[in-house]
Amino acid sequence: MNEKNLRKAIMEQRNHQFIYGYNGKIRADILKRIALKYPIILSSNKPMGIYIPNVGLPQIQTINKLDNNILIKYNQLYCELQLITSILTTLINQTNGKTTLNKNYIKSSYQLCTSLNETKNNCYKEYLKYLQTGKVTNFIKTTTSFKINEFLNDLKQCLNNHSYFGIIIDEQRPISIKSQMIINGFLNYNEVFSLKIACQIEQWQTYNQINGLCNIFDTVEIDNNYEAYTKKLKIVHKEP
């Protein structure tokens, strides 16, 4: 599939998607170019492309006994903050001085993004501390998660956009299974954004594999990663 057709297959399909392809610069460069072809424009009926690399917290081995609910809270908060700050950064970079968007709105978006980035960085540090010590701090007890669907809906209305956010998450490194669960959970939302998860197929647990449930998503292939993986599975299953 050439890049023009790939662009349409990814960004002009509202269903959530898994984009299968080998990790590396080639996949990253293709997806960055695709997102840039769909900029954030006021009063538009076209999708808005957002490219976000490596969403999620890392998988780190620990000898401490950890609370599953606390791990989920850290992962949910961090993933939500990554999505929101990345979208706000893209909005600021693409609209500042280039559109009629209110300057006060740009300023408030920048201030919000700065504040949320600080919270995101603190979340990462506190997560590492929890893995190392097993002690729960006030940070995760007092910091609430965000309703990302409501946030993006409000932002879309401010932009007077009649389409959706096409959010490409490019996972170039392994992340924790809890972060995969959180990101897969975003696939339940389909009114405001279309999530496109780019990964090597063998490195990602799909929603139904983790939860025993099935949700609807499409697949797009950038290279032969999917084909090679399925061939390997057939060979393994044939072995006595």
Task: List the pLDDT tens digit at each of the 240 positions of the chain.
Answer: 788 999 999 999 988 999 999 999 999 999 999 999 999 888 889 999 999 999 999 988 887 789 999 999 999 999 999 999 999 999 888 876 555 566 666 678 888 899 999 999 999 999 999 999 999 889 998 888 777 888 888 888 888 888 999 999 999 998 998 999 889 888 877 678 999 999 998 888 765 454 544 456 888 999 999 888 888 877 755 555
C-alpha distances (whole Å) from 12 to each of 16, 37, 48, 132, 180 are 11, 11, 10, 44, 24
d(CA 83, CA 217): 19
CB count within 10 Å of CB 113 equals 18
Q: Which two tokens stand for residue 19?
A: 């984009």
- For 223: left if phi > 0, alpha if psi spans -120 to 50, otherwise beta; the answer is beta
- The predicted model scores a pTM of 0.88
- For 82: left if phi > 0, alpha if psi spans -120 to 50, otherwise beta; the answer is alpha
